[in-house]
Amino acid sequence: MHTVSSISLAGGQGKTTVVLFVARLLAFQGHTVLLVDADPQSSLTTFLGHTVEPDNPTLLEVLKKQVNTEDGIYKTQYDNLFLIPSDDALDNVQDYLAGSGTGAFTLKKRLASVAKLFDYCIVDAPPQRSQICLTVIGASDALMIPIETSVKGLQSLIRTLELITELRDDQEAFNGEILGVIPFRDRWVGLRRTTESESNIESMKQISTQWLESDLVLPSIRESEKFKQAINKGLTLHQMHQDDLAYPIEVIVEKIKGLK
């Protein structure tokens, strides 16, 4: 099992959207995929139409080792796609992770027992630099960094790269691959990208070259209502005949399938 997480240290950057579309395309292609909702805001759990019942174990109980990892895994409405859900109680795990001394490796350890059951594990990270975020990065073989094409997005990119390089170089908690920066809500008018999107994507290239010594900016996700419609209708972008919009998702999926 390869574990790939969607990281970006601000809200509204496209983390959950990328997780959902990437995981659904992998599952659609026949791979077994485990989704992990590691954000207490639990948008991924909601997008999948999953309701957490009071007695049902979630990621909280899995991380605290109150249940076996398998007991926190649920089927979704999609073939090949499974979920460890969360709800806002997940915030209660922060102290547990901080107190354990090896909190950055907790999720990695919990996932080890189910690694044989899935081809891929795709994790949705929280928007803050929290203990949960650290354990998500620590569990990852690879990271995807969605960034809104806005000034807020550029700030998120810098904070995110700062955290990843710190975990890699100082704490040795991450030695995986950075799949790339995915510009999110890239705005076009007709056949032209807006000048604002153009300059923000150019800045993303400069920032990622500065931090990572290579320009890792991937094809962008266009601003479009079709993504929300696809989520609401439970369809893939291909099923909605939106092949152009699906292209950036396909590129990420190919990179994930290329992981060694």
Ligand X SMILES: Nc1ncnc2c1ncn2[C@@H]1O[C@H](COP(=O)(O)OP(=O)(O)O)[C@@H](O)[C@H]1O
Interface residues with ligand X (CB under 6 A) are 8, 11-17, 43, 127, 185, 221-224, 227-228
The least CB distance from residue 185 to ligand X, in Å, is 5
Query: In DSSP terms, which residues pair with 122 in a beta bridge?
Result: 4, 35
Buried b (16+ CB within 10 A) or exposed e, 85-120: bbbeebeebbeebeeeeebbbbbbebbeebeeebbb
Q: Cβ distance 17 to 23 under 8 Å?
A: no
Considering CB distances under 5 to 8 angstroms, the limit depending on partner class, which of Mg ion, ligand X, none binds residue 224?
Answer: ligand X
The least CB distance from residue 12 to Mg ion, in Å, is 8
Q: Which is nearer to ligand X, 14 or 138 (CB)?
A: 14
The least CB distance from residue 230 to ligand X, in Å, is 9
Q: Could you list the residues that contact Mg ion (CB under 5 A)?
A: 15-16, 43
Considering CB distances under 5 to 8 angstroms, the limit depending on partner class, which of ligand X, Mg ion, none binds residue 11?
Answer: ligand X
Q: Return the closest-CA partner of residue 20 out of 3, 10, 30, 35.
A: 35
Considering CB distances under 5 to 8 angstroms, the limit depending on partner class, which of Mg ion, ligand X, none binds residue 134?
Answer: none
Q: What is the DSSP string of 43-68?
A: HHHHHTT----TTS--HHHHHTTSS-
Q: Which is nearer to Mg ion, 93 or 193 (CB)?
A: 93
Backbone angles phi, psi at 68, to 5 degrees: -70, 150
Q: Which is nearer to ligand X, 66 or 232 (CB)?
A: 232
The least CB distance from residue 184 to ligand X, in Å, is 7
CA-based torsion, 221, 225, 228, 233: positive or negative = negative
How is residue 89 annotated by DSSP? G
Q: Which is nearer to ligand X, 11 or 234 (CB)?
A: 11
The least CB distance from residue 205 to Mg ion, in Å, is 24
